[in-house]
Amino acid sequence: MVLFVAICGIASADWPQFLGPQRDGIAHDVKALPTSLAEENVKQIWKVDLGSGFGAPVIFGDSVFVLDREGNDRDILRRIDVQTGKEKWRFTYPAPGKVDYNGSRQSPSVDGKMVYAIGPFGHINAVRMEDGTAVWSGHIIKDWDGAFPNWGVAQSPLLMGDNIIIAPWGKKAAVVALEKATGKVVWTSPNPDGIVMDYQSPMPMKLGERQTIVACGTKGYAIGVDAATGERLWTYKGYECRHHIPSPTVLEGGRVLLTGGYSAGSAMIKVEQKDGAYAVTELWKNSNVASKIPQPLVHNGHIYSNSSDNNGGLRCVTEAGEIKWDSKKKGRTFDMGNLIMVDDLIFIVDGKGGKLHMVKVNPNEYEELGRISPLSGKEVWAPLAYSDGKLVLRDQKKMVCLQFKRQGD
């Protein structure tokens, strides 16, 4: 079963927001990709220069969108032709400042009419997709009396019907729905415990027929709210991570996986309705999933995670928390490089040098099918984007597009 979120106007081939259309890091319903990275199967079709950072690209229709940064002075939202790499427009605004691990951090979100972006210093901007004209703006910290995270704002807005969802974790609200067309507040969800923002993004979750949103604040504090009203449905305080970066991973059956670095390990919880209210049960805790930055992927009852925080590699773990295999045993580790699943393949980046590895989705063993070097340098940690045979990825200086020769192309 696919956890579906209705996003009007978005084709299944688009990668319109952080972690893709369903926010799960998986590209669905694509033509079969080649099972090797030989030259006849994949080629780089363009490269564009970027400022330093970790902001991931998204893809909508014929364009790539990326939030870039110019030195320590300005944010730049860029629209780039997916076929040629030529820039179609840019929207820029003053955003002076510098943080540790400097640069951009988040993905824009695109619905076919507008592009929504949150900058590393908290600026929210909505611009027309056609020409980059500003429509409305706000601030995720100042508007909600929030606190600035040590490493800057790393949150990507969630597309949800006619709204975008943000999680400012300020004194005025923990989670907020804004009308996409105008930026007007639709609802707010309170923050009674005074939690502040960390580095995760809000995620969609279906509980039965009810559409909800999962959001995490500082140190792993997690809540679920109703997507229509903002009503808080449940709270979980049993997991703690010093600096929590991966967003909550939603699984079938009301389950949520929380993982992070700094020896925090992971926790799997289950949310279910009992006597008219929602209750949270902790299913397990361990360090078998130990992802400091990259988002875990879930497929056919197994979790695939870059568990570098406790010196692991790419791991396959059952939904019960048991390790099936670890790529480290075959000499493969990936620093804090990110990963994406396309068909029955995983593409994972070596965060130290930028090598791209193709891995078969196989719960029984680590099966590497090839590797190439489209990127370079250190701290290559940004998420990837895939659409219609094209994989877009970046390092600290550039963004590249790889075109795959698929069956039927």
pLDDT along the chain (409 residues), means of 10: 42 88 89 90 97 97 96 96 98 96 96 98 98 98 97 97 98 98 98 98 97 97 98 98 97 98 98 94 97 97 97 98 98 98 96 98 98 97 97 98 89
Structure tokens at 396: 């600290």
In what helix (H) or strand (E) does residue 212 lie, and over which residues does it extend?
strand 210-216
pLDDT at 12: 56
C-alpha to C-alpha distance for 395 and 381, rounded to whole angstroms: 7
Contact present, 56 and 68 (Cβ < 8 Å): no
C-alpha to C-alpha distance for 283 and 268, rounded to whole angstroms: 5
C-alpha to C-alpha distance for 76 and 68, rounded to whole angstroms: 5
pLDDT at 29: 64
pLDDT at 408: 75
341: Cβ–Cβ under 8 A, 6 or more apart, which residues?
A: 25, 26, 27, 297, 299, 304, 347, 361
Per DSSP, what are the bridge partners of residue 137?
125
CA–CA distances in Å: residue 126 to residues 9, 66, 77, 119: 17, 14, 10, 12
CA–CA distances in Å: residue 170 to residues 35, 42, 175, 193, 216: 47, 46, 9, 10, 13
In what helix (H) or strand (E) does residue 354 lie, and over which residues does it extend?
none
Structure tokens at 138: 């706000």
356: Cβ–Cβ under 8 A, 6 or more apart, which residues?
A: 37, 347, 348, 349, 350, 371, 372, 373, 374, 375, 393, 402
Pairing of strands 109-110, 87-94: unpaired
C-alpha to C-alpha distance for 134 and 167, rounded to whole angstroms: 22
Contact present, 156 and 18 (Cβ < 8 Å): yes
C-beta atoms surrounding 99 within 10 Å:
16
Domain residue spans of the chain: 31-193+290-404
pLDDT at 276: 87
pLDDT at 324: 98
pLDDT at 16: 98
Per-residue b or e along 230-255, where b marks 16 or more CB atoms closer than 10 Å to that residue's CB: bebbbebeebebebbbbbbbbbeebb
Structure tokens at 281: 């049960």
C-beta atoms surrounding 36 within 10 Å:
12
Collapse the DSSP code of 144 into the 3-class scheme (helix H, G, I; strand E, B; otherwise coil) and give the result: helix
pLDDT at 409: 76
CATH superfamily of 31-193+290-404: YVTN repeat-like/Quinoprotein amine dehydrogenase (2.130.10.10)
Which of 347, 409, 341 lies closest to 374 in space, CA to CA? 347
pLDDT at 30: 73
Report the Cα–Cα distance between both ends of the chain, in Å, rounded: 28
C-alpha to C-alpha distance for 103 and 381, rounded to whole angstroms: 12
C-alpha to C-alpha distance for 311 and 326, rounded to whole angstroms: 10
Q: Is the pTM of this model over 0.75?
A: yes
Contact present, 260 and 241 (Cβ < 8 Å): yes
